[in-house]
Amino acid sequence: MVSAQSQFSGILRGAAAAALAALACALPAQVAPGSPFPALSATGPNGGPLPETAGKVVLVDFWASWCAPCKASFPVYSKLNAAYADRGLVIVAVSVDESPSAYAAFVARLKPPFATLHDSRQALVREVQVPTMPTSYLVDRGGKVRFVHPGFHGEQTERELRREIEVLLGEKAPSP
Amino acid sequence: MNALRTRLLMIAALGGAAALFCGCSTPAAVRVRPWERAALADDTMNPDRDPLASMMIEHVYFSREAANGGKGVGGSGCGCN
């Protein structure tokens, strides 16, 4: 005969096990302003040539060929690249397409003047945990995320990005 | 001895159930993440990709079932419109 107390104790232990299991299942946290941005090399060896980003202001955009706002965002990023690349802005557009041909066709069609990477294994995007597609991250010269833009909202996003890029370009790189 | 065995069984059962239910409740298991929506964004997933066929189906619903469908279809329920 098992006493009620020992049964209760068993339930408590079960609850503790449940809590541990829940923790084990938990996703990595979303990358948010203030946290360091993960290394772009997480896209893997087939991701493409990594641009030089040390000491630069970096705009990392996650896109996919099947995402209509992503397509609309590329001309805006081209304008931003033309306006700020000389002053130290690097734009990196990371594709989360699973199909290499879809990625290649999109890049061939739009011919972006900035760097594109292919996160075909979706390792980087899983690490970053983007909240929606597309999402762009403005990273300061010290490698810290300063602004996050979930979605692309045309002129409004462009206006915000320009203001934020100006702020970040005006900051000095932290001494090593 | 029996009590210990029962307790251990209970813990194992609860732990197992928690691990299983955890799989059902975490967002990773039940939600399609934003970067995993390539198939969902495909045009073939659009139920209204053929407007003419959709209109005909609505017409059938409206004419034959009366209480169902009929969005944007004019006329009466006699099936002759």
Tell me what pLDDT residue A42 has.
87
Helix (H) or strand (E) holding A92: strand A89-95
Report if residue B27 sits inside a domain.
yes
Report if residue B38 sits inside a domain.
no
ipTM of the assembly?
A: 0.78
| Annotated catalytic residue within A59, A64, A67, A94 | A67
Architecture of domain A28-169: 3-Layer(aba) Sandwich (3.40)
Q: Which residue has the higher pLDDT, A176 or A150?
A: A150
Q: Which residue has the higher pLDDT, A43 or A110?
A: A110
Q: Is the pTM of this model over 0.80?
A: no
Tell me what pLDDT residue B24 has.
59
Interface of B with A in 7-46 (CB under 8 A): 7, 10-11, 13-15, 17-19, 21-23, 25-29, 33-38, 41-42
Interface of A with B in 110-169 (CB under 8 A): 122, 125-126, 130-133, 135
Tokens of B24: 């059902």
Q: Which residue has the higher pLDDT, A163 or B43?
A: A163
- In angstroms, the CA A140 to CA A147 distance is 9
Tokens of A24: 């084990």
Task: Provide the mean pLDDT of chain A.
Answer: 89
Report if residue B40 sits inside a domain.
no
Tell me what pLDDT residue B29 has.
58
The residues spanned by each domain of chain A are 28-169
A145-150 and A135-139 strand pairing: antiparallel
Tell me what pLDDT residue A29 has.
86
- In angstroms, the CA A16 to CA A22 distance is 10
Phi, psi of A56 (to 5 degrees): -105, 160
Count: domains in chain B: 2
Task: Provide the mean pLDDT of chain B.
Answer: 76
- Domain of B80 in residue numbering reads as 48-81
Q: Do A66 and B37 touch (CB under 8 A)?
A: yes
Tell me what pLDDT residue A1 has.
46
Tell me what pLDDT residue B4 has.
85
Residues B52 and B23 in one domain: no
Is residue A25 among the annotated active site residues?
no
Residues B52 and B78 in one domain: yes
Residues B29 and B52 in one domain: no
Judged against a pLDDT cut of 70, whether residue A2 lies above it is answered with no
Tokens of A116: 């594109």
Tell me what pLDDT residue A16 has.
59
Residues B54 and B81 in one domain: yes
